[in-house]
Copies of this chain bind each other. A is one copy, B any other.
Amino acid sequence: MSEDNRLIVEPRKFKHNQSFRLESGESLDGFELIYETYGELNKEKSNAILICHALSGNHHAAGVYSKEDKKPGWWDELIGPEKAFDTNKYFIVSLNNLGGCHGSTGPGSIDNQTEKEFGANFPIVTVSDWVNSQNLLREELDIEKWLSVAGGSLGGMQALQWAIEFPDKLSKAIIIAAAPKLSTQNIAFNEVARQSIISDPDFTKGDAHPEKGLGLARMLGHITYLSEESMKNKFGRELKKEKIEYGYDVEFEIESYLRYQGANFSKSFNAHTYLLMTKALDYFDPAKKNDGNLSETLSGATCQFLVVSFKSDWRFPSERSKEIVDALINVEKKVSYLDIDSIQGHDSFLMKNDRYENAINSFLEADV
């Protein structure tokens, strides 16, 4: 596709003016969600797909903001004309979640009660809260039922939650590189990330972009998104300079890469949002209400499921996706499962891959 065929997109806002009760028991006076749409809603309103984002994602999933814009949305490889999520056929909705820092109500928004930024006072939000707020967006868009709800990682957990909480509001759930709940190790990594933010004195002083702490959290996160093999292929043990200098300046390419990723991220991302997102991940455990029985939790689901994992993903390994698949099979749900050879680790879900794209495409095409 030439550059001229790129989608030119524009974000919009949905404003909910009523009080919104959260799972924690706290309430928001109301909220705004920023979102984008790609493709056209058909007359029957039967071709709408909701895209849910992961930890550091946002509403800008595809396209560019102008012809000059060089940086397309985060899932542009998969969303667009003739792509896996084909915008010639589907009407795609992508939002920034509650608590986010890209335009939806979050820690950077003004709290009407105090007339100051929420900051650390923004209430904890959960996957269930997100799905509930997304359901209000669905009503606003006058869509009776999503053709599909889709997402990778934390986004996949939202798709799973949709199937549980609003079974008659989606026909197909696409759950990619996700897990039915975090492992102990996942929580442990999140905790180190949180502590690196919370212990940064700049953060304590009120800086929502603490360069060091948020940078560290991102560096650490980044290691878990990449496979050992892809890191090795990309950086190996290559030195940044000609030879070892025996000191603490950047020496290996991987150090330089991680420092850059950390510094860059901390400029643009809100530290409170990062904390909120990691907590939403830790708390996610839909089967908890059924004493850990995921099959029972999923027994009321009516949609079709596509579950996708990647063999080199060690953040949410294939076994975690299989837990979801097994639970669905146990209660005789329609589920297709794909475990894809890809060396890119958890980040594979963001990238082009024929088998992956074809699977999404066919699953969306199949009769409801």
Contacts and interface: CB of A to CB of B under 8 A. Distances in A.
Given A195-B259, A216-B216, A254-B191, A185 B223 contact: yes
A176 to B, nearest CB: 21
A237 B25 CA distance: 22
A283 B244 contact: yes
A64 interface: no
A313 B199 CA distance: 30
A124 interface: yes
A103 to B, nearest CB: 24
A187 interface: yes
Contacts of A248: 194, 198, 275, 279
Nearest to A191: B255
B183 A195 contact: no
A108 to B, nearest CB: 18
B181 A195 contact: no
Interface stretch (A90-98, A133-141, A228-236): A228-236
A184 B254 contact: yes
Contacts of A362: none
A258 interface: yes
A298 to B, nearest CB: 19
B199 A212 contact: yes
Number of copies: 2
A285 interface: yes
Contacts of A182: 237
Contacts of A206: none
Given A124-B247, A184-B236, A228-B183, A223 B285 contact: no
Interface in A221-268: 223, 226, 228, 231-232, 234-237, 244, 246-248, 251-252, 254-255, 258-259, 262
A188 B225 CA distance: 12
A351 interface: no
A234 to B, nearest CB: 8
Nearest to A231: B184
Contact of A187 (B24, B194, B255): B255
Contact of A282 (B195, B196, B252): B252
A297 B159 CA distance: 53
Interface in A163-195: 181-185, 187-189, 191-192, 194-195
A185 B231 contact: yes
Contacts of A231: 183-185, 188
Contacts of A124: 246-247
A201 interface: yes
Q: In the complex, which of the residues A192, A226, A234 has the most CB atoms of chain B within 10 Å of its own CB atom?
A: A192
A335 interface: no
A231 B185 CA distance: 7
A220 interface: yes
Give 7 closest A-B pairs by Cβ, nearest first: A24-B246, A199-B212, A124-B246, A184-B231, A191-B255, A185-B228, A192-B219
28 contacts: A23-B246, A25-B246, A124-B246, A183-B228, A183-B231, A183-B232, A184-B228, A184-B231, A184-B232, A184-B254, A185-B226, A187-B252, A188-B219, A188-B254, A188-B255, A191-B258, A192-B216, A194-B248, A195-B216, A196-B196, A199-B215, A199-B216, A201-B201, A244-B283, A246-B279, A248-B275, A251-B282, A252-B282
